[in-house]
Amino acid sequence: MLKFKELVIATEKKRELFKTDDLILESGIVALVGRNGAGKSTLFRAIMGGPVYRTGAIEIEGREVKNYRREELAKKVSIVFSKSTVFGNHTGRDLLFLGRLPYQNMFSLRTSADHEYIERIIALLELQDIVDREYTQMSDGEKQLIMIGRAMAQDTPIIMLDEPNAFLDLVNRHKVMNILRKIGAEANKLVLFSTHDIDFLSDLCDSVLLIDQGELIKIEAKNAFIPTIKSSFGINS
């Protein structure tokens, strides 16, 4: 589904952040972990086709990201940022429907299929109590759930989340993690998220990507997630 081939990611000044040989991610839940400044957000931008300095290839379903048109890539990858800004008096439902834009005509007309798809997402993520409220009146946790729903409405095989727990309290962190479990269990998608919270990774993730000393490595053994990450961060206990 997502493949990196002899990939090197660098800053605008061409300072190398990390590199990796061939690395393949299929469906499942994958955490991206690394120190601040290691290049996690830069990798996300590169996967989204953004202006990132890199060599090597990033392929989605066998096709180099750079060769996708923007409207094509919007049907392959969706992203949820740690804190999203929404202007206007939009309801949660309005934002869910924004995820359907890549599939609508030039007049952005909603079809019965769009409505049915949104209702399925509302049921799956249990958004019934908040979906018709104004987004600006929601808590941070509720906003994050709506944005995850919007990404799901985009119906992409790859969903990325950039530190989804960064501004959430403990209760909402658990809620978001449970939602990711549900997506992983009920949808054949690759869910890739960056995080600094590592204690729950063994329970949630199928694998972990770790940026360690300029290398992007894949950890597949669940019992190795925490020890390998702690070793990378210089944590002995």
Token digits of residue 191: 């869910």
Which band of pLDDT confidence, cut at 50, 70 and 90, is reported for residue 91? very high
Does residue 31 surpass a pLDDT of 90? yes
Q: What is the pTM of this model?
A: 0.91
pLDDT at 202: 92
CA angle 143–80–229, rounded 5-degree value? 110
pLDDT at 212: 94
**Please, where are the H alpha helices in the chain?**
40-47, 70-73, 92-98, 112-125, 140-153, 170-186, 201-204, 225-232
pLDDT at 84: 74
Token digits of residue 65: 């990201």
Does residue 7 surpass a pLDDT of 80? yes
The CATH fold assigned to 2-232 is: Rossmann fold (3.40.50)
Regarding predicted confidence, which is higher, 177 or 63? 63
Regarding predicted confidence, which is higher, 67 or 188? 67
